[in-house]
Amino acid sequence: MRRIGDAPATRAILITLATLLTTLFLVVPLASIFYQAFAEGLAPFWHNLSDQYTRQAIMLTLLIALVTVPVNLVFGVFLAWLVTRFSFPGRRLLQTFIDIPFAVSPVVAGLLYLLLYGRTGWLGSLLSEADVQLMFAWPGMVLVTIFVTCPFVARELIPLMQAQGSADEEAAVTLGAGGWTLFRRVTLPKIRWALVYGVILTNARAIGEYGAVAMVSGTIRGETVTLPLQVELLYQDYNTVGAFTSAALLAAIAVVTLVVKGVLEWHTQRRGKRHA
Amino acid sequence: MRARVLPGFTLSLGVTLLFVSLILLLPMTSLVGQLAGLSWSQYWAAITDPRLLASYRVTLLAAATASLFNALFGLLLAWVLARYAFPGKRVLDALMDLPFALPTAVAGITLATLYSRNGAIGALLAPYGIEIAYSWLGIALAMAFTSVPFVVRTVQPVLEDLPTRTDEAALTLGASNFYAFRRVIWPHIRPAVITGTGLSFARSLGEFGAVIFIAGNMPYETEVVSLMLATRLEEYDYAGAAAIASVVMLVSLLLLLAINLWQGRFYRRLHGGSFPG
């Protein structure tokens, strides 16, 4: 079997070039985050981590992810069930709407929410009469994060559920399964890994979102500063080690995300081979 | 219409419509409302302000450079990952997704630190008079970093699906490696390369978090469009911000539409008329 580019020299040159470029372009920046965070040793790192504002930023970031992930999980499952199990007019349009957050720049997403819920927006002025303020407070930050991350779960589920078809579910219904049983016993086991994958993508983006959240945060220290915003504030204050301490925390989450993704892919590939 | 066998149609339709209206569509109405309050001449003045015009130019130049780089880098990496087996391949593969997993603000401060004049890489380039941080090159670098996965991840599956016999046929007939690549492989992957590059370009146009730290943000020189939008908001000029946002949204929607149409044509050619999905 001969293939294009199989000559040992071509192979060696291309692999070396790819590895070198990736190292320079991706690995060096990743490594430098941790290098900068520990530049002055372990003690300043711990000191920065236990800083009151950093701790509050961590809590707020976790809160946002904790609300966003379940909301988008539930929405993603319902949407995927709807567009892959039923045919109805407007199905294609609905799938297009879901891609809006990917097409809209995060800064524009933040602006849209600010215009709607801000004091000058029609909904914002109604709410402010009721003494509800969403913008420059955590509920607004949760809302834009939900907006920015809502396609991930649905995007993972739709192609898979479409490929699987609905024969199993229909069989279960004929055997008398109710809606919840049907989902839990028949559908869920088949989509489990895609669901996990969608959740980790949603989670990673919810924790790391900057542009959209920055627009609606108002950056009140200790109140509306998430971890990425804290990175920015410390960096602007020329507190490099502090900024990179928070950055290292976020980078560690990113690395975990990549590892989990790799393991999941390996797992599905192996299962695919066994079934083939 | 066929009778619905499966349960949950009304419930899932209800939940989905409620979510789509509240989260996705309702915020759009506010932009329309804000823009409706502007006269045509006000709108025109808002989107053709000289400082903003300069930022269009910088953004387009940097995004074009970044996506061109990504087209080449992505093609190389997709080829190596799809075609060769070597130690460390799994790690290299996983690294391709790093730019999507890493928060943009983190990428921004990291690149700015590395490429500034006293940074690890910037210090190496400074003697040659090359300054990346705080110039449009830095903006292009940050844009390229954040949009790395697009080309790799669109080209890689196409390459993996190409049957071995395509290669064999070309080589058996006596084509050189380069000629065979250009005439046999390239026509298959060209649509994916163009799609990936287009997506990378669209993403680069709207990039904010990674760019603002390395850009230096000098008026008329290194300000990107999304920064101008953020600046208008900080000045409480909501109408001006909405006007810029309308331009940004229009451009990215047109780009995505063009990419989708192109993809549709490509799939029709491949699958004889049926569009997947």
Summarised one tens digit per residue, pLDDT across range A171-203 is 999 998 888 999 999 999 999 989 998 999 999
A108/B7 Cβ within 8 A: no
Nearest CB to B233 within list A86, A88, A215: A215
Concatenated DSSP letters of B164-221: HHHHHHHHHTT--HHHHIIIIIHHHHHHHHHHHHHHHHHHHHH--HHHHHHH---TTT
Mind listing the pLDDT tens digit for each residue in B115-159? Answer: 999 899 999 999 998 989 999 999 999 999 999 999 999 999 999
**What are the sequence ranges of the domains in chain B?**
38-271
A258 has pLDDT over 80: yes
Cβ neighbours, 10 Å, residue B204? 28
**What are the sequence ranges of the domains in chain A?**
42-275
In angstroms, the CA A195 to CA A173 distance is 23
Mind listing the pLDDT tens digit for each residue in A21-67? Answer: 999 999 999 999 999 999 888 998 999 899 999 999 999 999 999 99
A31 inside 8 A of chain B by CB = no
Cβ neighbours, 10 Å, residue A150? 26
Assign domain B38-271 to a CATH class.
Answer: mainly alpha
Is residue B172 very low, low, confident or very high in pLDDT (cuts 50, 70, 90)? confident
- The chain A residue lying nearest B173, using CA atoms, is A2
Nearest CB to B97 within list A103, A229, A258: A258
ipTM of the predicted structure? Answer: 0.91
Is residue A98 very low, low, confident or very high in pLDDT (cuts 50, 70, 90)? confident
H or E, element range at A2: none
A231-240 long-range contacts (CB < 8 A, ≥24 apart) are: A231/B103, A231/B105, A231/B106, A231/B109, A232/B105, A232/B109, A232/B213, A235/B109, A235/B213, A240/A36, A240/A39, A240/B113
CATH number of the domain at A42-275, out of 1.10.630.10, 3.30.2010.10, 1.10.3720.10, 3.40.30.10?
Answer: 1.10.3720.10
- The chain B residue lying nearest A161, using CA atoms, is B277
The encoded tokens of residue A207 equal 């924790």
**Among candidate residues A228, A234, A229, A207, the one with its CA nearest the CA of residue A218:** A229
| Exposed/middle/buried for residue A38 (C-beta within 10 Å: 0-12, 13-18, 19+) | middle
A200 inside 8 A of chain B by CB = no
B110/A33 Cβ within 8 A: yes
Q: What is the mean pLDDT of chain B?
A: 90
Give the pLDDT confidence score for residue B274 in this predicted structure: 38
Give yes or no for a contact between A97 and A115, defined as CB atoms under 8 angstroms apart.
Answer: no
A150/B23 Cβ within 8 A: yes
Give the pLDDT confidence score for residue A7 in this predicted structure: 85
What percent of chain A is predicted at pLDDT more than 70? 98
Interface mutation vs chain A, best among B20, B22, B26, B30, most A CBs within 10 Å: B30
**Among candidate residues A154, A49, A20, the one with its CA nearest the CA of residue A95:** A154
The encoded tokens of residue B66 equal 């970044």
A228 inside 8 A of chain B by CB = yes
The encoded tokens of residue A50 equal 């236990």
